Amino acid sequence: DAMVIQNPRYQVTQFGKPVTLSCSQTLNHNVMYWYQQKSSQAPKLLFHYYDKDFNNEADTPDNFQSRRPNTSFCFLDIRSPGLGDAAMYLCATSRGVQRDNEQFFGPGTRLTVL
Amino acid sequence: GENVEQHPSTLSVQEGDSAVIKCTYSDSASNYFPWYKQELGKGPQLIIDIRSNVGEKKDQRIAVTLNKTAKHFSLHITETQPEDSAVYFCAVTTGSARQLTFGSGTQLTVLP
């Protein structure tokens, strides 16, 4: 019954070593989001896709990239992780239709940078 | 842009008591107001939401009230239980936008 699935749940990488986080959804939603959440803080939006249309937040570092090869999957690529990128990364989806903009979150991937 | 303030940042209540968390927002065009519950190590879970054409919505022990004139909305949890302990986030968006603006979160602790 899982609707928004994130893999892996825990990821350990080394400083500067590229890492990819995965998100998939069974809801057939148009919009997929990536958030970064640090301890005791609210989720911070990095970017989102409306179908294939990519929307980057102005303050998202260039180090973060995303790919959405199809409706169901979206990837977060961190090209050169720094210690400051250690966080929980949350994927969310929504239908994206006006007045139907509930967002559904996945369980998150906890990223550790050594 | 939208600004959302959430209070209090921490809240401790005795089991069985009520808990109230309040959020204020700045954009009068905002029309969708969800509340999320986030347990430790998990993603946020939508627990209740309200739209601007409604003043109150209730779901068992949880209710949300909206005052559009004053631009604030509140989460009410009655008969609190230890499993209600979590971080609660309010959020705001407009109908045409796809982004949510989150409050800073409230750590609710229900003491047995």
Tens digit of each residue's pLDDT (9 = 90 or more) over B9-67: 999 999 999 999 999 999 888 888 999 999 998 999 999 999 888 899 999 999 999 99
According to the model, what pLDDT value does residue A96 have? 77
User: Can you tell me the mean pLDDT for A3-7?
Assistant: 94
pLDDT at A2 over 70: no
| 8 Å CB contact between B41 and B108 | no
Phi (first) and psi of residue B95, to 5 degrees: -65, -35
- In this complex, the residue of A40, A99, A108 whose CB is nearest that of residue B42 is A108
Confidence of residue A95 (pLDDT cuts 50, 70, 90): confident
State how beta strands A73-78 and A87-94 pair: unpaired
According to the model, what pLDDT value does residue B47 have? 96
DSSP H/E element including A105: strand A104-105
User: Can you tell me the mean pLDDT for B76-82?
Assistant: 97
Residues of A with CB under 8 A from a CB of B: 4, 6, 31, 40-43, 45, 48, 50, 55, 90, 92, 94, 96, 98-99, 101-108, 110
